[in-house]
A = this chain, B = another copy of it.
Amino acid sequence: MSSENQTTRLRILTATLDLLQGGSKSVRMSDIARTAGISRQALYLHFSTRAELLIAAARHLDEVNEVDARLEPSRTAETGRARLKSWVESWGNYIPEIWGLGEALAAMQHTDADAAEALADRMRAVRDGCAAAVAALHRDGDLTPDLSATEATDLLWTMLSVGSWRQLRFDCGWSQADYVARMTLAAEKALIRAP
């Protein structure tokens, strides 16, 4: 940790995230090196593989954004309904910050097993958040009777996928606020027992 040269490593990571944030299609190792102000080979001194770099960037992003703190309100919500609402909002508002990286990781998951694993990890974490919200609903007796807890989790997880967000946000032109509002409503309709 402290034995590593943080400043160069950090410059690399932030360069990577900057390039990816823009949703730039294909971010090459040389692009990253250039924007970090070092040679392409110096990059390989720090990260021996593109996948490794992307994974490190993902971890770094998690730290910087204090993921746990952002999810706090959802975790401490009293009712299941409140928890669902809060979860959709927290996660939905986190997507814009990670989607570039997510798509880059997704694009290389078929050529690199580590990248696939890192992506799967993160998707699993999101799924856990969905499962917790569903469990809270279930506990309150508010879960719709036509879905098991697992099925409800599957459905919510899929509704909240990065791909769906991207499509609504960019292909359909929804604003971020629209996305959160409409998706919250859609999730409630799909999961909460009819009155």
Q: Taking the complex as formed, is A154 at the interface, i.e. its CB lies under 8 A from any CB of chain B?
A: yes
**Chain B contacts for A25, CB-based, 8 A:** 110-111
Q: Looking across the interface, which residue of chain B has its beta carbon closest to that of A154?
A: B172
Within 8 A of B (CB), among A22-78: 25-26
Contact B185 A146 (CB under 8 A): yes
| CB proximity of A32 to chain B, nearest CB, Å | 17
Q: Bound complex: CA of A157 vs CA of B123, how far in Å?
A: 22
| CB proximity of A128 to chain B, nearest CB, Å | 14
Within 8 A of B (CB), among A137-195: 146-147, 151, 154-155, 157-159, 161, 163-164, 167-168, 171-172, 174, 182, 185-186, 189-190, 194
Known contacts: A163-B163, A186-B190. The answer to whether A158 contacts B172 by CB under 8 A is yes
Q: Taking the complex as formed, is A10 at the interface, i.e. its CB lies under 8 A from any CB of chain B?
A: no
Q: Taking the complex as formed, is A125 at the interface, i.e. its CB lies under 8 A from any CB of chain B?
A: no
How many identical chains are in the complex?
2
Question: B123, B164, B182, B190: which contacts A189 (Cβ < 8 A)?
Answer: B190
**Chain B contacts for A159, CB-based, 8 A:** 159, 164
Contact A168 B158 (CB under 8 A): yes
Question: B110, B164, B182: which contacts A26 (Cβ < 8 A)?
Answer: B110
Q: Looking across the interface, which residue of chain B has its beta carbon closest to that of A165?
A: B158
Known contacts: A154-B172, A167-B158. The answer to whether A182 contacts B147 by CB under 8 A is yes
Q: Looking across the interface, which residue of chain B has its beta carbon closest to that of A195?
A: B194
Contact B158 A164 (CB under 8 A): yes
A-B contact pairs, 10 of them (CB 8 A): A26-B110, A26-B111, A107-B107, A123-B171, A147-B182, A154-B168, A155-B182, A158-B172, A159-B159, A161-B164
With A123-B171, A157-B167 given, can you name 12 additional A-B contacts, CB distance below 8 Å?
A107-B107, A154-B172, A154-B174, A155-B186, A158-B172, A161-B163, A163-B164, A164-B164, A186-B190, A189-B189, A189-B190, A194-B194
